[in-house]
A and B are shown apart, each in its own frame.
Chain A
Amino acid sequence: MTIDMSQFLETFYEESFEGLEIMETELLALDVGEADSETINTIFRAAHSIKGGSGTFGLNAVADFTHVMETLLDEMRDGKRQVTEEAVNLLLTTVDVLREMLTALRENTELDSERIKVTHDQLEELLDSSSSSSTVQETDNSSKDVPAGAQSWHISFHPHVNLFKTGNDPVRILRELETLGELEVKMDSSALPEFNNLDPEESFLGWELELKGEATREAIDEVFAWVEDECDLTIMAAEAEAEVIHAEAEPEPEPEERSQTEGRSTASTQSRKPKAAAESTSIRVGIDKVDSVINLVGELVITQSMLSTLGESFDMSKVNSLIQGMEQLELNTRQLQEQVMRMRMMPINFAFQRFPRLVHDMSQKMGKNIELKMTGEQTELDKTVMEKIGDPLVHLVRNSLDHGIESPEKRKEAGKPETATLRLNAYHQGGNIVIEVIDDGAGLNEEKIFAKAVEQGLVPADIQLEPARIHELILLPGFSTADEVTDVSGRGVGMDVVVRNIRSLGGSLEVWSKPGHGSKFTIRLPLTLAILDGQTVSVGEEDYIIPLISIIESIQLTSDMLNIVVGKGETFKLRNEHLPIIRLHNVFGGSPNTTDLIEGLLVVVESDGRKIGLFVDELKGQQQVVIKSLEVNYKRIEGISGATILGDGSVALIVDIPGLISLSNQVTATGRLKKSA
């Protein structure tokens, strides 16, 4: 029976990468000096699994490399070795190298044998450097070699009374010996007690055996390997000198060691089957999620069959049942949709888990003391959103570490603890996930930002701006305050890229900062990109969808609320705020039923903490809409985030509220009315 081992490789890679993540996380959590044994055990276990799997699935280079790592971890686990910073850093590098090796093997690209060798040697060096003696044991089997020409073996086999207690069976052993040659069996029942005293669960029989043929000593040892501690065993070559062995006399040969030594020589030349680079296109879904979908599909089928029975003989007297059935159908569909969406949801931890390492490495590099605190790692969001938020998050964290957090000396001068704290928080709020990056560093330097913005021609020099508006300047394209390009950030790829990425996910970024106290970046993202709760509004013949989460209220204006400033556009007063008005028909065209602000409706929407009023004809229903990309199907339009198909088959455009608000900002900031129709 031959089994193609490559079919298990993909699973092996996936779990190995997970194992590496675990190792990395736990290594970073290790307290140098007084390491928690459970943590070391977890790291050991991950390394151990990778070693076992790679050996089994023929990835000998990986098995060999992991073996050295495992030895080191084993010594730490047994307390034979101190957990030093040096060792932890080397292990982290080892994790990186392993990840590269596995990636290279998976994508069938060249292994970086130089780097592997260097790390391998460093590990060996570290192993040799200590008092510990537990290095790879070379097993010497020569002493066990069979005297050549042995024709037969005499075996005396007397199991101890409790042989059965480990599930072993002398009959199995005898049967196995029989396969090695011609076997003569003499039973010794002298130890058998009186029947009354006999405990059937104990073993009393012994055997004197003659094995004739070509059997090697090793093969015989192998047969008794499992029971050598549970019997009195003598194996003698019948024609040679008696060689007496008792149970614990000799160590077991290590087949594992042997295969690894072989592996070492073939590792670099092993041929791999070409295989298409596997992108991470699969997701792991908890069985409970799948079960609940199956359950709901069952419900749906029941409702469907009920409706079709109803349809076979329908008359108006059954209209109530029909309505009920439809309601049931709607409920089922909505639940099913929710559950299916849940399948795509993953904990934000997948995006967060790279940060402990990043912070660890960067704080060492920059000579800063930084403690990373993360909360809400289990908050779930859509997989696609997760994949796209990773890079913006890294950018924000790097910025905080580089620009925000001061050196320990400066912090001390400012009367702050020398160790800075960087927080990553995630939580759900409404239909959004909120991610915060908070540092207790110096905060944004408002004067410098303003001066730079003026210098770069982004704002006029004579303008007066509130601190909050100044903070927003850093989000503008082309803005950078870095005096020099550092290794860490400030390469000129500015915050505007971060903002653009977040906007493209339908999210927003908020900046908060207080000089001397730190800064906070808040990312708000929709939980999913596929579906949105929308409010349908109409302007003339056209329907538009406004995302429900951005709507604060809808009001009918009265003339005393209106305030029309010449050259500055229209505003209205809502309680104590003056808010700009945007007429949807001005932005998107079309002929509205009314252009009188008093007659139509104003939908007050908010994004990034700013509010505007959208002037529309009337409100229609609220419903969940499936978002279709306008860019893919047509082209990108300012102020529109997508399109959807309504129940009657017509197409409605989905209004991009953050986009519209920034449009209105340009209007109020520059005083020029910019129409993009």
Chain B
Amino acid sequence: MAKILAVDDSASMRQMVSFTLKGAGYEVVEAVDGVDALAKAKGVKLDLVISDVNMPNMDGITLIKELRAIPAFKFIPMLMLTTESTGEKKQEGKAAGATGWIVKPFNPEQLLATVKKVLG
């Protein structure tokens, strides 16, 4: 089953994302910020990364940039969870190598639909 890295500094969002994905049969690795995510991603085969943008220590955009630099993550889909109402963050995220985004607030159904779309 596909393995997904879910990164968010908010415990409730992390719980929700993780619970939803696990409920759909995905394997989920949780991380609390970019630094944590990067550490957990190294040496692991992942199929998808879902990351919040605004986080302490290392934000989601830097995380995506760092991950893309790792050969194993060159083509792995990476989605940003964003509430930014301007397109700015999305562009910044795309420039860093993000595949796409999920706009907050979202419900579990939307999350699953997007994940299914990406993972095929």
Chain B CB within 8 A of A634 CB: no
- State the CA gap A63–B85 with chains docked (Å): 13
Number of B residues, CB within 8 Å of A: 45
Chain A CB within 8 A of B62 CB: no
- State the CA gap A549–B94 with chains docked (Å): 63
> Could you say which residues of chain A place their CB within 8 Å of the CB of B54?
44-45, 48-49
Q: Please pick, from A164, A167, A172, the residue contacting B78 in the complex, using a CB distance under 8 A.
A: A167
- State the CA gap A255–B103 with chains docked (Å): 7
Structural contact, B91 and A256, CB atoms closer than 8 A: no
- State the CA gap A440–B116 with chains docked (Å): 65
> In residues 164-207 of chain A, which contact B (Cβ within 8 Å)?
164-168, 172, 175-176, 201
- Considering residues A44, A166, A172, which has the most beta carbons from chain B within 10 angstroms of its beta carbon? A166
Chain B CB within 8 A of A387 CB: no
Number of A residues, CB within 8 Å of B: 46
Q: Render A1-45 as a binary contact track against B, CB cut-off 8 A, 1 for contact.
A: 111010111011011000000000000000000000000001011
- Given A49-B10, A56-B106: A137 and B16 interface contact (C-beta under 8 Å): no
Question: What is the distance, in angstroms, from A540's C-beta to the closest C-beta of chain B?
Answer: 58
Closest to B104 in A: A52
Question: What is the distance, in angstroms, from A231's C-beta to the closest C-beta of chain B?
Answer: 12
Q: Please pick, from A11, A44, A45, A167, the residue contacting B11 in the complex, using a CB distance under 8 A.
A: A11
Instruction: Determine chain A's interface SS by DSSP, over half rule.
Output: helix
Chain A CB within 8 A of B112 CB: yes
> Could you say which residues of chain A place their CB within 8 Å of the CB of B56?
42, 45
- Given A42-B56, A164-B75: A8 and B15 interface contact (C-beta under 8 Å): yes
Structural contact, A259 and B105, CB atoms closer than 8 A: yes
- State the CA gap A49–B6 with chains docked (Å): 16
Chain A CB within 8 A of B43 CB: no
Structural contact, A166 and B15, CB atoms closer than 8 A: no
Structural contact, B9 and A56, CB atoms closer than 8 A: no
Question: What is the distance, in angstroms, from A82's C-beta to the closest C-beta of chain B?
Answer: 21
Closest to A223 in B: B117
> Could you say which residues of chain B place their CB within 8 Å of the CB of A8?
12, 15-16, 19
Q: Render B17-41 as a binary contact track against A, CB cut-off 8 A, 1 for contact.
A: 0011001100000000000000000
Structural contact, A53 and B94, CB atoms closer than 8 A: no
Chain B CB within 8 A of A649 CB: no
Structural contact, B101 and A53, CB atoms closer than 8 A: no
- State the CA gap A230–B117 with chains docked (Å): 19
Question: What is the distance, in angstroms, from A351's C-beta to the closest C-beta of chain B?
Answer: 23
> In residues 92-120 of chain B, which contact A (Cβ within 8 Å)?
94, 97-101, 103-109, 112, 117-118, 120
Chain A CB within 8 A of B58 CB: no
Chain B CB within 8 A of A100 CB: no
Structural contact, A175 and B15, CB atoms closer than 8 A: no
Structural contact, A166 and B99, CB atoms closer than 8 A: yes
Structural contact, B10 and A53, CB atoms closer than 8 A: yes
- State the CA gap A662–B81 with chains docked (Å): 63
- State the CA gap A405–B81 with chains docked (Å): 50
Chain B CB within 8 A of A251 CB: yes
- Given A167-B75, A172-B117: A57 and B101 interface contact (C-beta under 8 Å): no
Q: Please pick, from B76, B99, B106, B108, the residue contacting A1 in the complex, using a CB distance under 8 A.
A: B108
Chain B CB within 8 A of A507 CB: no
- State the CA gap A175–B118 with chains docked (Å): 11
> Could you say which residues of chain A place their CB within 8 Å of the CB of B10?
12, 15, 49, 52-53
Question: What is the distance, in angstroms, from B89's C-beta to the closest C-beta of chain A?
Answer: 11
Chain B CB within 8 A of A631 CB: no
Q: Render A202-239 as a binary contact track against B, CB cut-off 8 A, 1 for contact.
A: 00000000000000000000000110011000000000
- State the CA gap A643–B19 with chains docked (Å): 48
> Could you say which residues of chain B place their CB within 8 Å of the CB of A230?
94
Q: Render B43-79 as a binary contact track against A, CB cut-off 8 A, 1 for contact.
A: 0000000001011100000000000100000111110
Structural contact, B83 and A52, CB atoms closer than 8 A: yes
Q: Please pick, from A2, A165, A251, the residue contacting B74 in the complex, using a CB distance under 8 A.
A: A165
- Given A52-B83, A252-B87, A254-B85: A11 and B106 interface contact (C-beta under 8 Å): no
> Could you say which residues of chain A place their CB within 8 Å of the CB of B23?
1, 3
- Given A45-B56, A48-B54, A165-B74: A56 and B104 interface contact (C-beta under 8 Å): yes
- Considering residues A9, A57, A175, A176, which has the most beta carbons from chain B within 10 angstroms of its beta carbon? A57
Closest to A71 in B: B85
Chain A CB within 8 A of B2 CB: no
Closest to A230 in B: B94
Structural contact, A53 and B97, CB atoms closer than 8 A: no
> Could you say which residues of chain A place their CB within 8 Å of the CB of B86?
137
- State the CA gap A168–B81 with chains docked (Å): 17
> Could you say which residues of chain B place their CB within 8 Å of the CB of A12?
10, 12
Q: Please pick, from A3, A44, A176, A254, the residue contacting B117 in the complex, using a CB distance under 8 A.
A: A176
Chain B CB within 8 A of A55 CB: yes
Closest to B101 in A: A226
Structural contact, B76 and A167, CB atoms closer than 8 A: yes
Chain B CB within 8 A of A51 CB: yes
Structural contact, A48 and B83, CB atoms closer than 8 A: yes
- State the CA gap A12–B103 with chains docked (Å): 19
Question: What is the distance, in angstroms, from A343's C-beta to the closest C-beta of chain B?
Answer: 19
- State the CA gap A63–B104 with chains docked (Å): 11
- State the CA gap A270–B68 with chains docked (Å): 43
Chain B CB within 8 A of A553 CB: no
> Could you say which residues of chain A place their CB within 8 Å of the CB of B24?
1
- State the CA gap A201–B71 with chains docked (Å): 12
> Could you say which residues of chain B place their CB within 8 Å of the CB of A137?
85-86
Known: A8-B12, A12-B10. 8 other contacts (CB 8 A): A1-B112, A3-B19, A3-B20, A49-B10, A56-B104, A166-B99, A168-B77, A201-B74
9 shortest interchain CB distances as A-B pairs: A55-B105, A226-B100, A12-B12, A167-B99, A167-B77, A56-B105, A11-B12, A3-B108, A52-B104
A-B contact pairs, 14 of them (CB 8 A): A3-B16, A5-B16, A8-B19, A44-B54, A52-B83, A53-B13, A54-B105, A56-B16, A167-B98, A229-B94, A230-B94, A254-B85, A255-B103, A256-B105
